[in-house]
Amino acid sequence: MAAVETTRQAPLGAITTYRAINSLSNVVSAFAAWNDARVTRKALNKLSDRELDDIGLCRGDIEFIGR
């Protein structure tokens, strides 16, 4: 009967590499979310007051929607 070792340590630097990639992924995700909000605010700012009223918004709501 063979014994199987179920606990092994990660290779040297694997955890550091994982954390670095995870941090980079978080930065990219945060940048994408910021850019989406910026594009939304820019598009809403181009609308007239009448068009904003048609969709149930006012100028003061634009900043809160983009967040």
Local structure of 58: helix, strand or coil: coil
Q: Where are the domains of the chain?
A: 34-67
pTM confidence score = 0.69
CB 37 within 8 A of CB 64: no
**Residues near 24 by Cβ (< 8 Å), separated by ≥ 6?**
none
pLDDT confidence band for 6 (50 / 70 / 90): confident
**Which DSSP string do the residues of 4-24 spell out, in sequence order?**
-----PPPTTHHHHHHHHHHH
Residue-level pLDDT at 9: 77
pLDDT score of 29 more than 70: yes
pLDDT score of 61 more than 70: yes
Higher pLDDT, 7 or 15: 15
**Residues near 58 by Cβ (< 8 Å), separated by ≥ 6?**
49, 52
